Chain A
Amino acid sequence: MARYLLGRVGQALAVLALTFTAAFLLLQVLPGDAIMIKFMSPDMGLTADQIAEIRASYGADRPLWERYFTTVGNFLTGNFGISIQAGVPVSQQLATNLPPTLLLASLAFVAALILTIILATVSNMVGMEWLRAGLQALPSLFISVPVFWLGIMLIQVFSFQLGLVSVISPGPVERLVLPVLTLAIPISAPLAQILMRNIDQVLAQPFVAVARAKGASRNWVLWRHVARNAIMPTLTIAGVLFGELLAGAVVTEAVFGLSGLGGLTYQAVGNHDTAVLQAIVVVSALAFVTINLIVDLLYPVLDPRLGTKVGAAT
């Protein structure tokens, strides 16, 4: 058990290190950099010497390997560098922009799970066969819907036509309803599909027949026997889809005009603000790795077969 845990944590750290390095190298090979974009504009009227001086003050004139190790050292001590465009520390920008995005992503994740479970449960109720067929077709529809279009449609329907959610100065909760839905619906689609298929597979297992033969009702079997067995593969996919959620958050924030990591990323890309981008990549990777680590650590809790050594006692 301790070995399993250590192994997983080690893997997570390795993924983080690789992501950091890959992001660093890719950002360095981009032509041009933030200093040029900001200080070479004719409005500034700086001479080439002055620009070279500014470059030196940012450490941009050092060789690649030296900058790499400096950045690694800085990140390990929690120093993410300084945004050249904004002239403030990146950590300060993250402090304002990360929490709203994390809140949005987490709410969407929870909403997606709830949606998934509702879809799967309703479609398995007796007498709901017609609904089941319909619902099983729905997820494929959800998957093919682009996030930005969904966001616009939700605003169109709920805000403009039904007037349920106000667009002008909405409250803190009201503001989040539509963005969360926009993000949750496309994620819940593949999840629900996988969960439904798993439920069907588990329902065909002989131990379900044994439970029915004990006199257990359909719902009893569904909740006490099928749920835990069917949820495990779904969790794996949920972890993987969390990455999609982060990407979706960028688009969603743009559509709904929310400030957050999305806006920050957008600006930073435009300005080639490498320090900011490096920090965003690492933070996103950290979130992704953490979610998947949690999923991995949940397995042995959900499935006792993974907790002990294989081999039947005699």
Chain B
Amino acid sequence: MTVTPLLQVEDLAIAYKTGDREQRVVHGVSFSVAPGEVVALVGESGSGKTTTAQATLGLLAGNGRVESGTIRLNGTDITHWSQKRLDSIRGAVVSLIPQDPGSSLNPVRTIGSQLAEVLQIHKRGDRKAIHARVIELLERVGLTPAEMRARQYPHELSGGMKQRVLIAIAVALNPALIVADEPTSALDVTVQRRILDLIDELRRESGTAVLLVTHDLGVAADRADRLVVLQNGRIQEQGPVKDMLAAPRSAYTRRLLADAPSLGKPRPARPGIESQDFAIEVTGLTHDFPVSGGEATSFRAVDDLSFKVRRGTTHAIVGESGSGKTTAIRSVVGFIKPTAGRILVDGVDLTTLKGEKLRQFRKHIQLVYQNPFGSLDPRQTIARIVEEPLLNFEPIPAADRARKVRDMLARVGLSENFLDRHPRALSGGQRQRVAIARALVLDPRVLVLDEAVSALDVTVQAQILSLLDELQKTLGLTYLFVSHDLAVVRQISDTVSVMHKGRQVDGGPIETVFGRPDSAYTRELIDAIPGRGLPVLAVPPELPPRLSP
């Protein structure tokens, strides 16, 4: 028997107009989604996955245009429907779960009214019936007490709760197809898991099909029936998830699978790990923030955090948003003074340093920031960016500086051609290499990496991680690696501190913490890592196939 596909995309080509030129970003893409099926569009940034998904809703950005090909919904060609006609099916037959719950709800309207809106637009009942349905939907997605939630504004809800509201909007009219565009990339891993479970559950109840757009192969493997792998606007491979993971045919898919951090092996324990030579010793670090109003007068962001990092090794601080990890490392690099505790870097207590001494000490401990797009001055050349830290300390002749800059760029794998370029001409991975070069140009002993690879695509992420590994070996660097991503942490770290609500709930060598976590929270974090559906092959032999107890 053959089922008519719910969504059938054939030979789709989409172009964006920039200035006078049209640039094609999607080339001859064909795939279909059967009723009730979950199909994942997987690819890195710039692969055309989001553009393809937007086209199925008729919501391309203003300068985008379908050049050729067809999009059929239930057999009807909707490719050239007017916006007015599309309005009648959007929300009712096809709906959207957007990427960033933080900005996807109107800040000046209550969530109840925004949920009711989809029912009003499609005229489903009178005021009373709509209100009843709103309450029912809010309860269904787990937002209780629903009456109270309906009257709240988006800023009164957490990210996960906002995404629940958006899911309620998407399922309100029992659509045949939900387009979920990176529905959880902005969320913490435990929240991500609960949200994906919720989508799964609702989908099963109503037999809704899902077109899941994701950069995360682990999420796709866990949740989809079939995968469509896109690269540079072209389909590289598509097929059932199991077949593709077991025997990927295209080189690109193999590359993606190899680079997916959830598959990675923990780094083998290295010699010298028993040494008592510590580059960083943090004891009883506590930081209180004053709070105005309310009962309490202060909020304890970091509570009695202690850890030691051996020279030449990597220590990771893991936690979700609000865990206090950022506050902790801001103290370690000396940007803020902790309320209590000692921070020894190379035997010097940072908390006792002030003014010029503290400034001079920064030479030894450098920071690489999360966002490679925001951390480089767009008006400076790469040479200038890398050179700048040298100008802040004792003067070095210009020729020596230039040589140092060239050496450092070569070390991070960038040729001399980059010297005169500006950051805008660089990709995200190249920018992060520049940021690393800038941090290393002062020959620091400790490098603090604040979510340094979180904004990068998996293959670029894998390249940066191996660069960091190599630099550590040759320069004997000590890394303090801050991340929310346990899979990445497992790949790069020797030791780890897991933080939760300001406290360290687990700590020690990576294999101990991941293999036999002390706290329920760490166990939950590990369980929530997507990618359980990925091939068993990839799970390192020294660990049981399932990390859960």
Min CB distance, A305 to chain B, in Å? 5
Q: Can you name the residue of chain A whose Cβ is closest to the Cβ of B152?
A: A313
Contact A304 B121 (CB under 8 A): no
A216 CA to B90 CA, complexed, in Å: 8
Chain B contacts for A224, CB-based, 8 A: 117
**Of the residues A212, A215, A309, A313, contact of B92 by C-beta under 8 Å:** A215
**Of the residues A213, A228, A229, A312, contact of B158 by C-beta under 8 Å:** A312
Chain A 115-131 interface residues, beta-carbon cutoff 8 Å to B: 126
Contact A218 B83 (CB under 8 A): yes
Cβ of B141 within 8 Å of any chain A Cβ, yes or no, is no
Contact B91 A213 (CB under 8 A): yes
Contact (A313, B106) CB under 8 Å given A210-B96, A211-B117, A214-B169: no
Cβ of B153 within 8 Å of any chain A Cβ, yes or no, is yes
Min CB distance, A1 to chain B, in Å? 12
Contact B104 A206 (CB under 8 A): yes
Chain B contacts for A304, CB-based, 8 A: 107-108, 153, 155
Contact A229 B156 (CB under 8 A): no
Q: Can you name the residue of chain B whose Cβ is closest to the Cβ of A309?
A: B293
Cβ of A197 within 8 Å of any chain B Cβ, yes or no, is no
Min CB distance, B134 to chain A, in Å? 13
Cβ of B98 within 8 Å of any chain A Cβ, yes or no, is yes
Chain A contacts for B157, CB-based, 8 A: 312-313
Chain B 87-117 interface residues, beta-carbon cutoff 8 Å to A: 87-92, 95-96, 98-100, 103-109, 117
Min CB distance, A225 to chain B, in Å? 5
Chain B contact residue count (CB 8 A cutoff) = 36
Render B74-93 as a binary contact track against A, CB cut-off 8 A, 1 for contact: 00000000011001111110
A211 CA to B109 CA, complexed, in Å: 12
Cβ of A303 within 8 Å of any chain B Cβ, yes or no, is yes
Chain A contacts for B89, CB-based, 8 A: 215
Min CB distance, A307 to chain B, in Å? 9
How many CB-defined contacts (below 8 Å) exist between A and B? 91
Task: Specify the main secondary structure of chain A where it touches its partner.
Answer: helix
Contact (A206, B90) CB under 8 Å given A213-B59, A312-B156: no
Contact B103 A207 (CB under 8 A): yes
Cβ of B282 within 8 Å of any chain A Cβ, yes or no, is no
Contact (A212, B104) CB under 8 Å given A305-B155, A312-B158: no
Render A23-50 as a binary contact track against B, CB cut-off 8 A, 1 for contact: 0000000000000000000000000000
Contact A214 B118 (CB under 8 A): yes
**Of the residues B106, B118, B158, B161, contact of A215 by C-beta under 8 Å:** B118
What are 22 A-B contacts defined by CB distance under 8 Å?
Answer: A206-B98, A206-B104, A211-B106, A212-B59, A213-B59, A213-B90, A213-B95, A213-B96, A214-B121, A215-B87, A215-B90, A215-B118, A215-B122, A220-B121, A229-B107, A229-B108, A302-B108, A304-B155, A305-B108, A309-B293, A312-B158, A313-B157
Interface residues of A (CB under 8 A from B): 126, 205-207, 209-218, 220, 224-225, 228-229, 302-305, 308-310, 312-314
Q: Given A206-B99, A209-B96, 5 other A-B contacts at CB below 8 A? A: A213-B90, A215-B92, A303-B107, A304-B108, A304-B153
Interface residues of B (CB under 8 A from A): 57, 59, 83-84, 87-92, 95-96, 98-100, 103-109, 117-118, 121-122, 152-153, 155-158, 161, 166, 169, 293
